[in-house]
Amino acid sequence: MTRTITNFKEEIYQEMTLDVTSFIDNKGGNSEAIRESQRKRGHSVEVVDEVIQMYQDWVKRTSYRYLEGFLLADFLP
């Protein structure tokens, strides 16, 4: 089954909610600690990488939209 944000949210909300930056090492998070927590509880460690990838995809999409709007604004009268 391919994870979507909707079914991923349902899985996470059944357990607990974490701030996405907790997964992002360069934002002060600790992805390895979250992986270890997943291992100890017998849960999927791969989900940590999926969250990180979803975050990176979101950053790319929102950064591009911001940049696109900024560049278009420069050319508008």
pTM for this prediction: 0.62
Confidence of residue 11 (pLDDT cuts 50, 70, 90): low
| Model pLDDT for residues 33-77, shown as the tens digit of each residue | 999 999 999 999 999 999 999 999 888 877 766 665 565 555 555
Amino acid at 25: D
> According to DSSP H, which parts of the chain are helical?
5-15, 31-41, 46-75
First and final CA of the chain: distance in angstroms? 49
